[in-house]
Amino acid sequence: MASVAIIGAGLIGRSWAIVFARAGWQVRVTDPESRTLENASRLIREGLEELAVHGLVTDPALAAERVAIVQSLADAVSGVDVVQENGPELVDTKRAIFAELDRLCPEHAILASSTSAIVASRFTEELPGRARCLVAHPVNPPHLVPLVELCAAPWTAPQTIERARRIYESIEQVPITVKREVEGFVLNRLQGALLAEAFRLVGEGVVSPQDLDKTLKDGLGLRWSFIGPFETIELNAPGGIADYCKRYTGFYRSLSADPAKPDVWDEENVSRILHAWGAMPSADTLAHRSAWRDRRLAALKAHKQSQPEA
- The backbone torsions φ and ψ at residue 185, rounded to the nearest 5 degrees and listed phi first, read 60, -145
Count CB neighbours of 36 within 10 A. Answer: 17
CA 167 to chain centroid, in Å, comes to 16
- The backbone torsions φ and ψ at residue 208, rounded to the nearest 5 degrees and listed phi first, read -75, 155
In sequence order, what are the residues at sequence separation of 6 or more whose Cβ sits closer than 8 angstroms to the Cβ of residue 148?
136, 137, 138, 142, 168, 173, 174, 175, 176
CA-CA-CA-CA torsion for 15, 304, 177, 223, nearest 10 degrees?
Answer: -100
pLDDT given for residue 310 in this prediction: 45
CA distance 53 to 44: 15
Tell me whether the omega of the peptide bond preceding residue 141 falls within 30 degrees of 0, making it cis: yes
Query: CA-CA distances (angstroms) from residue 294 to 17, 43, 225?
Result: 20, 18, 16
Rg (CA), the chain: 21
Amino acid found at 248 = Y
Each residue's pLDDT, cut to its tens digit, for the chain (310 residues) gives 899 999 999 999 999 999 999 999 999 999 999 999 999 999 999 999 999 999 999 999 999 999 999 999 999 999 999 999 999 999 999 999 999 999 999 999 999 999 999 999 999 999 999 999 999 999 999 999 999 999 999 999 999 999 999 999 999 999 999 999 999 999 999 999 999 999 999 999 999 999 999 999 999 999 998 899 999 999 999 999 999 999 999 999 999 999 999 999 999 999 999 999 997 666 666 666 667 777 777 777 776 666 665 4
Q: Which domains does the chain have, with CATH numbers?
A: 3-178 (3.40.50.720), 186-278 (1.10.1040.10)
